[in-house]
Amino acid sequence: MNNPLPSPTTNETPDPASAGKDSASATVVTVTDLSIRIPDGPVLLRPTSLTVRAGEITALTGASGSGKTTLLRTLIGHLPAQATTHCTAFDVLGHHVPSLDPTALRTMRRTQVAYVGQDPGSALNPRMKIRHLVAETAPAASEQAVLDLLRECKLPTDGGFPDRRPTAISGGQQRRVALARALARTPDLLLLDEPTAGLDKALRDDIASLLRHLATSRGLAIVMACHDPELVDACADHVVQLTTAQPRLPRQRTPLTQQKAESADSPVDGITAQSVSVTFRGRGTAQLALDKVDFIAPSGSATAIIGPSGSGKTTLLRVLAGLQRPDAGSLVLDGHPLAHAARKRRREHHRRIQLVPQNPLGALNPSRTIGAALARPLRRHTELTKAQIAARITELLDQVDLPADFVHRYPHELSGGQRQRVSIARALTANPDFLLCDEITSALDPDTAIAIMELLQRLRTEHDMAITHVSHETHLVAAYTDTVHILETGRLTAHGPTTALMST
């Protein structure tokens, strides 16, 4: 096919670890000079070539917006509406994917290719138990086979975990459950979008070892979009570097504001949790997620909640947001009791406390434009006219460094970093006093992650907001927060100034 876009910008580099591998490994994917764009709209993928072989791991790297997720989804024939492709070759497991009819595509996805997206939690039925979710995708899965898959993906098989539901496990655990579901299909090609997002370093190392084991023992071809250089170094045989259609503008670091005095100066000004406990129950078992945890976020502060995957960080954030009812303990807002359940809180409390989720794609309605997503909370929390709402949306997009014409785009047309900015803008529509951020940089490249943290730092200063970050990225916590709460197995093990705790 003719290709109207610039010359290829990818650079496929064999990793030294792959030297000496069997050169006769079966070729699973061949893509040559593939480019994707929206007519009269954005370029989604610059010309890219890709060769994937059985038993090998290929990493797609590059800045947010370079097209990594778009390329993965194109391999399974899942393109954005109106997108056009140009290529000279496109073969996946012997199929010319662009010419497959819907029935053939479904068969290929069900039997040969498994895809785990950037927001795996949104693909897990919240009403199903973990054991049933894993068994659902297997042609014939015994109880033992399900437990073996959970173990293989570094998930517990005791303590009632297989009988918990997705909403009762951490984001990192949801990601590994989705991986177990994918492996249950025994695919020939495994596509992973940011497989270690939201995981602590120990689990990242485990996942690297697991992926290497899967490629070697199963002869599985793996393609992963990844911002984690340590994961790439640890397990990738080949690296394909993608570039954005437009160069990234240099950004100036914003100096941190003076640390706010803690509760000694303002003992009741902020949001507080006291002796909060949460237990998840199922099939005669009980799993303690939070054990008498205390938490405080003074007004205008920058606070972090850190700890290993599954330690209760997201659960604590959901308790503060009113999305998880604690079994014991109390919540206080500016010295006054705060209802445990969001539905029992006053509208003013909903406005003041806003949650930015880890995976904005799952939180944004795919059938609504960005403008519609921002307009809805403005209608709920303000009395602005239609014209004023339109002006406010433009202002919000500008605040999060997005162009005004994004009002006409849909979530799937944006990169992970752009969706995260939209998610922040939506939270800002309510002019909140407390912003709860759950791993919002976990799936972003380092430059975009810093840009998002700089953005939040600026917004915190301009609006005197308190921002709470749940994060595994300790370098960002050290640079952008005042105080840290450290959780381990549901218990608060330390709390204090970031400078003191992060230097130990």
Tell me, what's the pLDDT at 416? 76
Tell me, what's the pLDDT at 267? 44
pLDDT tens digits in sequence order for the chain, 504 residues long: 433 333 333 444 444 334 334 444 799 999 999 999 888 777 888 999 999 999 999 999 988 778 898 899 999 998 866 788 888 899 999 999 888 898 999 999 988 999 998 777 777 888 899 999 999 888 777 888 899 999 988 899 987 899 998 888 877 788 889 999 999 989 999 999 988 877 777 888 888 888 999 999 889 999 999 888 888 999 999 999 997 654 443 334 333 333 333 333 444 589 999 999 999 887 667 789 999 999 999 999 999 999 988 899 999 999 999 999 999 999 999 999 999 999 999 989 999 999 998 777 767 888 899 999 999 999 988 889 999 999 999 999 988 888 999 999 988 888 877 888 899 899 989 889 999 999 888 777 787 788 888 988 988 888 889 999 999 888 899 999 999 999 999 999 999 999 888 865
- Give yes or no for a contact between 184 and 142, defined as CB atoms under 8 angstroms apart: no
Tell me, what's the pLDDT at 65? 77
Q: Which two tokens stand for residue 427?
A: 């939270």
Q: Cα-flanking dihedrals φ and ψ of residue 482, to 5°?
A: -95, -45
Tell me, what's the pLDDT at 503? 65
35: left (phi over 0), alpha (psi -120 to 50) or beta: beta
Q: Which two tokens stand for residue 361?
A: 């794609």
* Whole-number Å distance between alpha carbons of 126 and 128: 6
- Give yes or no for a contact between 476 and 457, defined as CB atoms under 8 angstroms apart: no
User: What does DSSP say about strands 434-438 and 353-356: parallel, antiparallel, or unpaired?
Assistant: parallel
Write down the residue that tokens 């670091």 correspond to: 253
Rounded to a whole number of angstroms, the CA Rg of the chain reads 23
CB-count exposure of residue 138 (10 Å: 0-12, 13-18, 19+): middle
Tell me, what's the pLDDT at 386? 92
* Whole-number Å distance between alpha carbons of 387 and 330: 42
Tell me, what's the pLDDT at 268? 58
Tell me, what's the pLDDT at 118? 77
Tell me, what's the pLDDT at 310? 84
Would the pTM count as exceeding 0.85? no
- Give yes or no for a contact between 104 and 95, defined as CB atoms under 8 angstroms apart: yes
Question: Which residue type does 462 have?
Answer: E
